[in-house]
Amino acid sequence: MSTNERILIIGGGPVGTVTGLALARAGIPVTVFDRLPVPAADHRAATLQPSTLDLFAPLGLTDEILRQGIESPVFQWRDRIRDEIVAEFDYRMLAGESDYPYVIQLEQHKTIQIALDAALAEPLFNLVRPVDVVAVRQDADWVEADVRREDGSVETHRGRWLIGCDGGRSLVRKSIGTSFEGFTWSERFNIVATNKDFEGYNFRYRNYCAHPDRWCALMKVPGENHAGVWRCLFPAHEDESDEYVMSDAWIRARFAECLPGDPDGFEIIHRNMYTVQQRVAGNFRGGRMILAGDAAHVNNPVGGMGMNSGLQDGLNLVGKLVEIWQGAAPDPLLERYDRQRRLTAIKYVQAQSIANKKTLDERDPALRQQKLDDLRRQAADPVAALEFVRRASLVSMYRESESIQ
Ligand SMILES: Cc1cc2nc3c(=O)[nH]c(=O)nc-3n(C[C@H](O)[C@H](O)[C@H](O)COP(=O)(O)OP(=O)(O)OC[C@H]3O[C@@H](n4cnc5c(N)ncnc54)[C@H](O)[C@@H]3O)c2cc1C
């Protein structure tokens, strides 16, 4: 059994890795466990918001993220029925409020790797992978994680606190026994990547295209050697089989709806179908175990908020654990963490990601027009546009979260 003078983090995704780095930098020994031998190069989060970049700067991560990523200051809403641009929102309005008034588009696994490279240079950071954490438990003074290695052997690690950064199906959340209220969207989402360049068609690097049946989100990520890859998110109808939705024919039909020209000319680099949920844990803490990231809340990807809010959970929590490590009473601080991060996850991330999705796929013609007109009006009014951009970039969420006592 290992020494208990450390914090255990279950999950070395973006949230676990960055949280572990920040704890080690603050002088707290940390062990991160993950079942994957290396970060998965799947097509998940691609968007780093200004509020996250501001928080990354003191960790020394931002320069490398800017070097590898694509700077994307403007995002676009389109109406696919009328084939017109409805609104564009410019993050440069945040100059003076953020040192990074733009989004950086960068694949999630590259963000993890940048944080991991920094963390592995820290003597207090310990990474154990590939291992499956099969059980966690706690007593008044300690936490334990049972960890199964690839050869089947199980060892127990002990620490003072345990952070569940183990994703949407979190074992830690289940162990705390808290609820995970919310719902699952009825449609499946197909995320497709292509090397076809959409830039020539008046698209920005982030685009949301509204349509009652065939809405889509299109964005550019760096790909290999900065060659550029476009990621396209399409909804699948309930009566379309999984096999059909994953076929070239289905994907090429979706491309043809977005772009003029020959859809057969595009190389399909990747495709992945998944269901999407909107859920928030009933409590982000159970005794000595605390939740952060997808373990605490999940949402649809429209707006690029899930990973960002998770990273901000982790960095908020680090400040509190440092005070606790130095002798502060844990309960007031960890109860404040729960209030700050859970309430704002509901008010901002859940509300905004649901509203974004409902604007994209609104079926009622009058309501649809009203929602699109509303976007148009907000984009044209500098005060309303700034408010919109603050919400979209999680600047408002960060500020409100910090203000909650
Ligand atoms: C298709 C898609 C697109 C998305 N796009 C965006 C976007 O543009 N912007 C955005 O902000 N968010 C986006 N998201 C959401 C984002 O990917 C997640 O919010 C983010 O991955 C959460 O990070 P995490 O570290 O909390 O959890 P995860 O990334 O899920 O990491 C959890 C880690 O824990 C490990 N683990 C879990 N259980 C165990 C166990 N028992 N033992 C050992 N290891 C374990 C896993 O191997 C994994 O590495 C998207 C998600 C999807 C699916």
- Please tell me the distance between residue 24's alpha carbon and the centre of ligand 1 in angstroms: 22
Residue 45 included in any domain: yes
- CA dist 83 and 98 (Å) reads 33
Q: Is this model's pTM higher than 0.85 or not?
A: yes
Residue 121: Cβ-neighbour burial (10 angstroms; 0-12, 13-18, 19+): exposed
Note the pLDDT tens digit of each residue in 234-270. Answer: 999 989 999 999 999 999 999 888 876 666 677 899 9
Residue 58 included in any domain: yes
Q: What is the mean pLDDT of the chain?
A: 95
Residue 329 included in any domain: yes
Residue 231 included in any domain: no
Is residue 302 helix, strand or coil?
coil
CATH number of the domain where residue 350 is located: 3.50.50.60
Percentage of residues in the chain with pLDDT exceeding 70?
Answer: 98
- Please tell me the distance between residue 140's alpha carbon and the centre of ligand 1 in angstroms: 30
Nearest residue to 63 via CA among 72, 53, 73: 53
pLDDT for 1 equals 46
Number of domains the chain contains: 1
Residues constituting the chain: 405
Residue 172 included in any domain: yes
- Please tell me the distance between residue 30's alpha carbon and the centre of ligand 1 in angstroms: 20
User: What mean pLDDT do residues 118-143 have?
Assistant: 97
Phi then psi for residue 276, to 5 deg, are: -125, 140
Find the residues whose C-beta lies inside 6 A of ligand 1.
Answer: 10-16, 33-36, 43-47, 108, 132-133, 165-167, 171, 191, 274, 293-294, 301, 304-308, 310
Residue 22 included in any domain: yes
DSSP 92-105: GGGBTTBS--SEEE
Nearest residue to 106 via CA among 269, 219, 11, 218: 219
Instruction: Give me the residue label for tokens 């003597």.
Output: 123
- CA dist 387 and 214 (Å) reads 29
User: What mean pLDDT do residues 53-65 have?
Assistant: 97
- Please tell me the distance between residue 347's alpha carbon and the centre of ligand 1 in angstroms: 21
Note the pLDDT tens digit of each residue in 267-321. Answer: 899 999 999 999 999 999 999 999 999 999 999 999 999 999 999 999 999 999 9
Residue 2 included in any domain: no
Q: Where are the beta strands (DSSP E) in 203-305?
A: 206-210, 216-221, 229-236, 268-281, 285-286, 289-291, 297-298
- CA dist 384 and 323 (Å) reads 39
Note the pLDDT tens digit of each residue in 344-370. Answer: 999 999 999 999 999 999 999 999 999
Note the pLDDT tens digit of each residue in 364-402. Answer: 999 999 999 999 999 999 999 999 999 999 999 999 999
Q: The domain containing residue 48 runs over which residues?
A: 7-72+106-181+278-361
**Which residue's CA is minimally distant from atom 39 of ligand 1?**
166
Residue 321 included in any domain: yes
User: What mean pLDDT do residues 21-38 have?
Assistant: 97
